Amino acid sequence: MITFKQLEAIYWIVELGNFESAAMKLNMSQSAISKRIQELEEVFDMPIFDRSRRSARLTEKGAELFEEASQILRQRDFLLERISAREVLVRRFRIGVTELTAITWLPALIEAIRSAYPKVVLEPSVELSTELVAKLENDQLDLIIVPDIFADARFVSTALSSVENAWMCAPSLHQGNASVNMQTLSSYTVLTQGGSSGTGLIYDRWLAQNDVRLNRTLKSNYLIAQLGLTLSGVGISYLPRQCLSPLVDQGRLQVIETEPALPPIHYIAAHRADRLQGLSVEVARLAAERCDFSKMVW
């Protein structure tokens, strides 16, 4: 008799690359997970892993078994999500977001998910866009919310709302409401987001396309650090206009209007196309309904 637990063992060993990581993933000992593989080998009377290698390398027949096991587990999860009532569906859901989402509307999304699926255990993760994409690729996250720059046929994307950014600085650095030419920015120290940020990647490309060369830049991968440096008068930076409007109204930040203006940053919710997960689709729908970058949570 083949069990789901045996199929999960081979699946996670291959996905995570070794027995130790798979055992941690399944909350069991290495000896227990090895026993499940031995049971499968006895059922099929063949080796599943090439034990002459140090890494968890499948044999030819083992690779066939892995593909079938993956399909069976996906269908199982899909069946459970389709048939189980929302109130009784028990599983964990790993969601990854960027810093801006975390400090604006993530609490509203979590509340909506918990209301719809009270027994689903949420595991939120706040990281840089490139790190979130890598974890989605490696099946370490079920759904991510990131700027729409990572086109990938392996992902199913749901469009969310957009973020309007503006150049801002401490009032001591710039006065006046008249629009300035983008080349004027080269006279300032410019605080930008690094290449691990989706917003940073988009604006780096946009500046290059508009032939804007910045003479002095400081890069930060973290929005809060970028905001703190801007408030301190270190330089100017592109920051989300709506959620920081209270600081503008208080006179702590000055908006610098430019020609051309910064393009909006479109956000998406993405999950893997090879995962038949109704829950991911539902969470993406909830995200689209509640996406609101206009206010910070504090």
Domain 162-265: CATH class, spelled out: alpha beta
- What pTM, to 2 d.p., does this model score? 0.77
What order of strands is seen across the sheet that includes strand 155-163?
Answer: 121-126, 92-97, 143-147, 265-272, 155-163
- 88 pLDDT tier (thresholds 50, 70, 90): low
Domain 4-83 matches domain 91-161+266-290 at the CATH topology level: no
pLDDT of residue 15: 83
**In the predicted model, what is the mean pLDDT of residues 124-129?**
95
In angstroms, the CA 87 to CA 63 distance is: 37
Taking alpha carbons only, the member of 187, 176, 181, 242 closest to residue 214 is: 187
Q: Which string of DSSP letters, residue by residue, matches 44-84? A: HTS-SB-TTSSS-PBPHHHHHHHHHHHHHHHHHHHHHHHHS
Is residue 157 over pLDDT 90?
Answer: yes
Which class for 205: exposed (0-12), middle (13-18), buried (19 or more C-beta within 10 A)? Answer: exposed
In angstroms, the CA 180 to CA 32 distance is: 66
Structure confidence by residue, pLDDT tens digits, 21-69? 888 888 889 899 999 999 988 888 889 888 776 677 888 888 898 888 8
Q: Residue 210 — left, alpha, or beta (φ > 0 → left; ψ -120 to 50 → alpha)? A: alpha
Q: Under CATH, domain 91-161+266-290 is a member of which superfamily? A: Periplasmic binding protein-like II (3.40.190.10)
In the DSSP assignment, the letter for residue 260 is: S
pLDDT of residue 189: 92
Domain 4-83 has CATH 1.10.10.10: yes
**In the predicted model, what is the mean pLDDT of residues 139-143?**
90
Structure confidence by residue, pLDDT tens digits, 190-217? 999 988 899 999 999 998 888 888 888 9
